[in-house]
Amino acid sequence: MSGKLKEVRERIKSVVSTQQITKAMKMVSAAKLRKAQTAITEMRPYADRLDKMLKNILANLDSDANTSFGIHREIKSVAVVVITSSRGLCGAFNTNIIKTAIARIEGDYKAQLEAGKVEVICIGKKGFDILKKRYKKEAVNTEFLHLYADLSFENIAAVSQYLMDSFQNGKFDRVDVCYSQFKNAAMQFPIAAQYLPVEKPEIAHESEMSKQKVDYIFEPGKLELLEELVPSILQTTFQKFVLDTHASEHGARMTAMDKASENAEELIKDLKINYNKARQEAITKELSEIVGGAAALG
């Protein structure tokens, strides 16, 4: 019986130690989340407005004007950017993004995948660890794997510049980004978004077109301005994808650690009940032995 009591005590001690770690990780994630959440909530209205403006510009371009980032070509080669975290212990956060990416690659781009014309660009180690086993090693690009080490605009812009250059020179006919859209600490949504070519807004009727048409004044020239404006907007849009995922990671980890701490508390309660029952059984057995011995002597 003493062996059983010792075993339960060791388990209680182990769970308490684990609970201290999960509580500490929750506090660290909460602190990081505040900073990451502020970054994405302040940037999102600006990025969304720029994205809307870009689509309006492309929708209202005359037939004689266009931008190289809005040209639709036959989809022969594809790039899929998968943005996950580099660390675990954040519930199903990474799994959901990876599942979304696999569904897009093997569903929409099955023909291109079979032809070896799909390049998977991983940002974050967790996505790379899974996708490198599923796809050929040469199909997985690790150039930007450790982007989270420095989330400055210049660092993120290097990724978007690579995608834009590759699209312009014909290396990719389509670029998609799989990321996690942040809503709050408890809710994150895996998204597969088309990055290039830029989609024009769909307008069903001419009456709607006249309502949505925006009369932009281009100076010095339409084409010259577009070639400068569009890349800047696309870089900002890609930065939003990364910051959204970064905030989602910390929100998911904080929620997961909070739940783990609650589960540890429940387990500690159950173990203490089992420990007290075992002690009670041991005491009762000892008393019975004492009473039995006294009766035998009498």
% the chain with pLDDT above 90: 63
Q: How many CA atoms lie within 13 A of 252 on its CB side?
A: 25
Length of the chain: 298
pLDDT of residue 204: 43
Over residues 214-262, the pLDDT tens digits come to 666 777 767 777 778 889 999 999 999 999 999 999 999 999 999 999 9
- H-helix segments, the chain: 2-59, 93-103, 110-114, 125-134, 153-168, 206-212, 222-297
**Average confidence score pLDDT of the chain:** 87
The per-residue pLDDT for 66 is 63
Domain ranges across the chain:
24-256
Q: What is the pLDDT of residue 298?
A: 60
pLDDT, tens digit (0-9, with 9 covering 90-100), for 141-168: 999 999 999 999 999 999 999 999 999 9
Burial of 171 (0-12, 13-18, 19+ CB in 10 A): middle
Q: What is the pLDDT of residue 69?
A: 85
Report the pLDDT value the prediction gives residue 128, as an integer from 0 to 100.
Answer: 96
Task: Copy the structure tokens of residue 298.
Answer: 């009498």
Pick the CATH number of 24-256 from 3.90.1150.10, 3.40.1380.10, 3.90.76.10, 3.90.850.10: 3.40.1380.10
pLDDT tens column, 62-114: 655 567 888 889 999 999 999 999 999 999 999 999 999 999 999 999 999 99
Count of beta carbons in the 10 Å neighbourhood of residue 75: 14
Q: What is the pLDDT of residue 211?
A: 54
Q: Which positions ≥6 away from 135 have C-beta within 8 Å? A: 105, 113, 118, 120
Tell me which residue of 90, 78, 229 sits closest to 167, measured CA to CA. Answer: 78
- The CB-based long-range contact list for 48-53 (8 Å cut-off, 24+ gap) reads 48/240, 50/233, 50/236, 50/237, 51/233, 51/237, 53/233
pLDDT tens profile 48-65: 888 887 777 777 666 555
Q: Percent of the chain having pLDDT more than 70?
A: 89
